[in-house]
Amino acid sequence: MDVLKKLFEQHFHSPVARVQPLQGQLGGSGRKIIRLANEELSAIGILYDVREENVAFLEFSRHFRRHGLPVPEIYGEDLGEGAYLEEDLGSTTLFEFLSTNRTSENIAAPAIEAYRKVVAVLPRFQIEAGRDLNYKLCYPRASFDRQSIAWDLNYFKYYFLRLAGIPFNEQALENDFGRLTKFLLSAPHDYFLYRDFQSRNIMWQDSQPFFLDYQGGRKGALQYDVASLLYDAKADLPPELRQQLLDHYLDGLASILKLERAVFMQHYYAYVYVRIMQALGAYGFRGFYERKAHFLQSVPYALKNLRWLLHNVTLPIGLPTLMDAFNSMLGSEKLQSLASDAENLTVRIFSFSFHRGWPKDETGNGGGFVFDGRNLPNPGRDERFKALTGKDAPVIEYLNQQESVHQFLASVLSLVDASVSEYQRRGFKDLMVSFGCTGGQHRSVYLAEQLAKRLRSRNGVEVVVRHRELENVHE
């Protein structure tokens, strides 16, 4: 941590006042992600001990910025300590933005427009910036070659099929893998392949996308990255929207590259399949093998994508054993139980004034958490904020600057996160979390919105927010 504070102070010539570990370090990489800030400035610090990956990210970032692509500026680095400091691009991922702009299958226009902007930028990474990239820095491979594909397919075979108890003939499956690999590599593959182009690696700030986590990039085919985004299991995009976005991507591609759509589509769905298998291997490794159950929450969404593919797509090559394995997965009682486990937990989040008593829990679950925000600095005492609420930017900015608010919120998030995980594990369907303050207008509203933002990024959680006193104002 000291090395990150040092990098911050060297770059900004200003001391660090707050250090906030971010949820990203709970993911699959082992990378520690930390926000460092003071009253005026903030940055993201990374601690990770794989030097080759760090070098790839730093050099790729500088290269992409030279090409005018929206990636973070690098503020400083200490490779000997496995540390670097980068631009803070906020806290809203594309996945979170999507989650706040959808009701089940119904995705609102702002989220669709966000995805359109993302797919429009992708060809610039793949082609314009990919032309003069130093591929010698790629780790662990310089291209998505036979070896890379074999790693992904074996990951799927051993950590998903085996651990999920799906039967298969190993030699017959290997024969299918060989045919699939040969077919994948017959597509043109002299472009930059981002490798993990999905909604949690894209930040959304000021109505624009910014891109992260391309340190695994290498040479490869164009189809892989757009397949990764559109068949991202957790995002659960409807088939019609996937097709619209694919068309928009291909329109953008056509403006900088001569490529017939029929040629692109010949290999596209094979890359969709291989990306889904790579993801399932990761879910199986983290979930079945390492016993991190929250990774298995994504499996039902991946199975939903496979079901659609099996009903709607015919590949140009025969892969009978692999297709049998997919059908066995869809019929597996063990995997079906994951689907039922992933049924939503509804978290109802309230803000209220203590003068009017606690909100009633209509579900019969007993009321859950009630947090008292009256000990926090009160924006309502400042004339500037009296007519505003905890949803307005000036109030949010004021509360974001208070160290006591960050400490309070960190404690709340820790308690609620633990309860959500346990409620999901035990199959509970309702949890209520209430925040009270004096008037129910500023602090409690802010805290409720912050918790809602955090929980919307979790799979299997439906978030309902009610600001009781604000509703009464408008009655």
Nearest-angstrom CA–CA distance, 37 and 70:
22
Q: What is the 3-state secondary structure (H, E, C) of the chain?
A: CHHHHHHHHHHHCCCCCEEEECHHHHCCCCCEEEEEECCCCEEEEEECCCHHHHHHHHHHHHHHHHCCCCCCCEEEEEHHHCEEEEECCCCCEHHHHHHHCEECCEECHHHHHHHHHHHHHHHHHHHHCCCCCCHHHCCCCCECCHHHHHHHHHHHHHHHHHHHCCCCCHHHHHHHHHHHHHHHCCCCCCEEECCCCCHHHEEEECCEEEECCCCCCEEECCHHHHHHHHCCCCCCCCHHHHHHHHHHHHHHHHCCCCCCHHHHHHHHHHHHHHHHHHHHHHHHHHHHHCCCHHHHHHHHHHHHHHHHHHHHCCCCCCCHHHHHHHHHHHHCHHHHHHHHHCCCEEEEEEEEEHHHCCCCCCCCCCCCEEEECCCCCCHHHCHHHCCCCCCCHHHHHHHHCCHHHHHHHHHHHHHHHHHHHHHHHCCCCEEEEEEEECCCCCHHHHHHHHHHHHHCCCCCEEEEEEEHHHHHHCC
pLDDT given for residue 205 in this prediction: 95
| 460, pLDDT greater than 60 | yes
**Residues 199-221: b if buried by 16+ CB within 10 A, e if exposed:** bbbbbbeeeebbbbbbbbbbbbb
Compute φ and ψ for 27, nearest 5 degrees: -75, -155
State the chain's mean pLDDT as an integer: 92
Evaluated on CA atoms 137, 140, 146, 149, the torsion sign reads: negative
> pLDDT by residue (tens digit) across 71-106?
999 999 999 999 999 999 998 999 989 988 987 678
Q: Which amino acid is at 381?
A: R
- Number of Cβ atoms within 10 Å of the Cβ of 350: 25
Question: What single-letter amino acid sits at 412?
Answer: V
Q: Average pLDDT for residues 228-240, to the nearest whole number?
A: 95
Give the count of beta carbons closer than 10 Å to the beta carbon of residue 291: 9
For residue 96, give the nearest of 475, 459, 473, 472 by alpha carbon. Answer: 459
Say how far apart CA 184 and CA 315 lie, in whole Å: 11
Closest-CA residue to 361 (of 373, 347, 342): 347
CA–CA dist 374, 363 (Å, integer): 27
Position 118 scores a pLDDT of 98
pLDDT number for residue 421? 86
pLDDT given at position 475: 33
154 pLDDT higher than 80: yes
Query: For 158-172, 187-201, 331-345, 413-427, which range has the lowest pLDDT when averaged over its residues?
Result: 331-345
Q: Strand pairing partners for 203?
A: 93, 210
- Give the phi and the psi of residue 262 in degrees, each rounded to 5: -65, -35
pLDDT > 50? residue 156:
yes
Task: Tell me the angle at which helices 239-254 and 261-284 cross, rounded to the nearest 10 degrees.
Answer: 130
For residues 294 and 49, the model is more confident at 49
pTM for the predicted model, two decimal places: 0.75
Are 360 and 432 contacting, i.e. CB atoms less than 8 angstroms apart? no
CA dihedral 453, 455, 456, 462 (to 10 degrees): -130
Tell me: the pLDDT tens digits for 364-403?
Answer: 666 789 999 999 999 999 999 999 999 999 999 999 999 9
d(CA 368, CA 180): 51
* Residue 1: band (very low, low, confident or very high) from pLDDT cuts 50, 70, 90: confident
Q: Residue 22: which of 4, 35, 31 has the closest Cα?
A: 35
- 45/259: higher pLDDT: 45
Taking the C-alpha atoms of residue 10 and residue 244, their distance in angstroms, rounded to an integer, is 46
Q: How far apart are CA 380 and CA 395, in angstroms?
A: 9
Give the pLDDT confidence of 25-74 residue by residue, as tens digits.
345 567 899 999 999 999 999 999 999 999 999 999 999 999 999 999 99
In the chain the domains, ranked by start, together with CATH numbers, are 2-87 (3.30.200.20), 94-341 (3.90.1200.10), 345-473 (no CATH)
Say whether pLDDT at 429 is over 80: no
Say which amino acid occupies 411.
S
For residues 83 and 53, what is the distance between their CA atoms, to the nearest angstrom? Answer: 11
Residue 338, pLDDT above cutoff 90: no
Cβ(291)–Cβ(165) below 8 Å: no
